[in-house]
Every structure is written in structure tokens, then in C-alpha cells.
Amino acid sequence: AQKITQTQPGMFVQEKEAVTLDCTYDTSDQSYGLFWYKQPSSGEMIFLIYQGSYDEQNATEGRYSLNFQKARKSANLVISASQLGDSAMYFCAMRGFNQGGKLIFGQGTELSVKP
Amino acid sequence: NAGVTQTPKFQVLKTGQSMTLQCAQDMNHEYMSWYRQDPGMGLRLIHYSVGAGITDQGEVPNGYNVSRSTTEDFPLRLLSAAPSQTSVYFCASGPGQGITEAFFGQGTRLTVV
């Protein structure tokens, strides 16, 4: 069975500073993908970044990067230069290669950016 | 492109009533899924489909039915609503090739009284 664990229910960061949101996972699949989604107070789910299990380089998308450590089964999200608009819930999720439609989510981390 | 469209956005039901949450996607995606989101529990998979005519249960399927007669539509039916089904429901879709992100609808906030 697959499992995602996010151990930080809430975090604070000062505007313009970097922040790391933790995510650990467990799976017996050899091929899988790891995802991060942002959910602002308006409620929609916004895709941020993706990392494949066979990708050797960490994924980056603008201010977002995914610190992927396969041996430690961790996929932490790093947000550089935090902005007030980054205040939201952040969810880590994973899916096996042959398990289309079956995203498994963590409990989420609520990030608050202070001015 | 409309993407993934869910209706309604809000709904209040009485205990025992039935209803259908609608989900439609216009991206020709093979995969479609339904999730419920409860405070402190993230999103949990209810049912999913890997193509027209094929559905399977997720983590929390009890009390819900689905069918997939077309690629575009994946309705979620509540057979006899219970207060425990008060939640925010999300529909998502994704392409069949490789591992890609899921595209989510705007969500349906359901309250069962």
C-alpha cells in the first residue's frame, strides 16, 4: 500500500525567505510519481510540481523545487522567496505508474507567510 | 478549454435523500476520480475510473456509486445521504500515458443535515 506523510500541520515563514515543506512516502512500486498541490482559501487544487521516481535531477518550476531523496523516501517542497500569496494549504501526493486515477494524498501543511 | 467541470458548487441535503454530483471533462482524459476532503485528513479517494465502462473502489467507497458510460462524464451518486458524508468533493481527471498530474474541478461543498 502507498502512504504519504506530512508531519507539519502548520508553518510560518517571513516574506521573501525560503521555506521547506516536508513529505515522506512509502510504496512498493518501482515506478511512481510525486506531486505537490496548493490549495488557497478559495478551495481549488492547483498543481505545482512533479517528480518521477526515475528522474535523476530534482524538479524545479519557477520558485518551487522538489528536493527528492529516493533512498530516504522523501520529496520535500522548497519555496524560495516566499510571497504573501503563497499562504495556503499544501498537499503532497503520489501515484504508481500503472495506477492512473489513484492519487494518494498526505494530510497537508498550512503555510502562513508573514509580511 | 473548460477543463474539469463539477456541478453543483454547493448543496444541502436532508438525511436519507439521494443526489448525483456531476463531473465532466473536455480533455479526452482516460482517468477520472472522485475524492472527498475532510479537515485534517487531506483528500481521500472514493472511486476512480481508467476508462469508459471501467470503475473501481478507492479508500472510502461506502455510500457512493459511480458509473462511466462516456469518456467525458463521471457522476458520483449518493444513495442515501448521511451526516458523515458532509464534506468537500473533488473530481479529477488525467491522461492515460505515463505519470502526469491530475486536473481538478472546483469542488462541491455538500452538507447533510
Q: Which residue spans within chain B are E strands per DSSP?
A: 4-7, 10-13, 19-25, 31-37, 43-51, 54-57, 64-66, 76-78, 87-94, 103-104, 108-112
Query: Which DSSP string corresponds to A56-88?
Result: SSPPEETTEEEEEETTTTEEEEEE-S--GGG-E
Residue A30 CA to residue A28 CA, distance in Å, equals 6
Are B104 and A44 a contacting pair at CB < 8 A? yes
Q: Is the pLDDT of residue A93 over 70?
A: yes
Q: Which of A10-19, A23-32, A93-102 has the lowest mean pLDDT?
A: A93-102
Q: What is the pLDDT confidence band of residue B97, given thresholds at 50, 70 and 90? A: low
| Cβ contact A100–B44 (<8 Å) | no
> Do B31 and A105 make contact, defined as CB atoms within 8 angstroms?
no
Residue range A67-87: average pLDDT?
96
- Please report residues of B whose CB lies closer than 8 A to that of A27: none
pLDDT value, residue B98: 64
Helices (H), chain B: none
- Cross-chain residue pair A102–B101, CB shorter than 8 Å: no
pLDDT at position A91, please?
Answer: 97
Query: Which one of B25, B36, B99 would you mutate to disrupt binding with A, by most A Cβ within 10 Å of its Cβ?
Result: B99
Residues of A within an 8 Å Cβ radius of B = 4, 6, 9, 31-33, 35, 37, 43-45, 47, 50, 52, 91, 93, 95, 97, 100-108
pLDDT digits (tens, 9 = 90+) for B10-68: 999 999 999 999 999 999 999 999 999 998 788 999 999 999 999 999 999 999 999 99
Which phi and psi angles does A47 have, rounded to 5°?
-70, 135
Residue A50 reports pLDDT greater than 70? yes
Tell me if A32 and B32 make a contact (CB, 8 A cut-off). Answer: no
Q: Which three cell numbers stand for residue A55?
A: 528522474
Mutation for testing the A interface, residue in B5, B43, B87, B88 having most A CBs under 10 Å: B43
A43 closest CB neighbour out of B30, B88, B100: B88
Instruction: Give A-chain residues touching B60 at CB under 8 angstroms.
Output: none
> Residue A111 corresponds to which cell in the numbers above?
503555510
Is pLDDT at A65 greater than 80 in this prediction?
yes
A9-23, A95-109, B44-58: lowest mean pLDDT where?
A: A95-109
Q: B101 falls in which pLDDT band (50, 70, 90)?
A: confident
Query: What's the confidence (pLDDT) of residue A56?
Result: 83
* Among A105, A107, A109, the residue to mutate for chain B (most B Cβ within 10 A): A105
- pLDDT of A44 reads 94
B55 contacts B68 by C-beta, under 8 angstroms: yes
Phi-psi region of B56 (alpha: psi -120 to 50; beta: other; left: phi over 0): beta
Structure letter (DSSP) for residue B101: P
If you average pLDDT over every residue of chain A, what do you get? 93
Provide the pLDDT for residue B26.
94
